[in-house]
Amino acid sequence: GAVVSQHPSWVICKSGTSVKIECRSLDFQATTMFWYRQFPKQSLMLMATSNEGSKATYEQGVEKDKFLINHASLTLSTLTVTSAHPEDSSFYICSKTSGILLGNEQFFGPGTRLTVL
């Protein structure tokens, strides 16, 4: 069964509004979770690393004030797209890693399709 869930699975919003995406670890706790963005017909690009109890680490070129990440508990990380614009329309995927003892497999959520009008 799924070990990572995301909500919502899709969202349509108006330009200028904010959208929150939730990523939950359903089995074991995850002190670190990752947020990726995937544009149509492209690959997954890491946006940021979400760390429980501390600030997220953002990749170069990703605006931290626009993509707010909160990892307030060991099972929940949220990504808020603030003042969304049409160019933010994309597929957002979160993931967590199983760690070395379990083969370093990365478990992905089902993704959230964001469309900004």
Partner 1 sequence: AQTVTQSQPEMSVQEAETVTLSCTYDTSENNYYLFWYKQPPSRQMILVIRQEAYKQQNATENRFSVNFQKAAKSFSLKISDSQLGDTAMYFCALKGGSQGNLIFGKGTKLSVKP
Segment interacting with partner 1 (CB under 8 A) among 15-23, 62-70, 72-80, 87-95? 87-95
Report CA torsion sign: 80, 65, 36, 114.
positive
Segment interacting with partner 1 (CB under 8 A) among 21-29, 32-40, 65-73, 77-85? 32-40
Instruction: Give the residue among 21, 16, 8 at the shortest CA–CA distance from 83.
Output: 16
Work out whether 97 is an interface residue with partner 1 (CB under 8 A). Answer: yes
Check: CB of residue 52 under 8 Å from CB of residue 71. yes
Cα–Cα–Cα angle for 114, 92, 23, nearest 5°?
110
Work out whether 91 is an interface residue with partner 1 (CB under 8 A). Answer: yes
Q: Which is nearer to partner 1, 53 or 103 (CB)?
A: 103
Q: Which is nearer to partner 1, 18 or 39 (CB)?
A: 39
CB 16: neighbour CB atoms within 10 A?
10
The residue ranges that bind partner 1 (CB under 8 A) are 32, 34, 38, 42-46, 49, 91, 93, 95, 97, 103-106, 108, 110-111
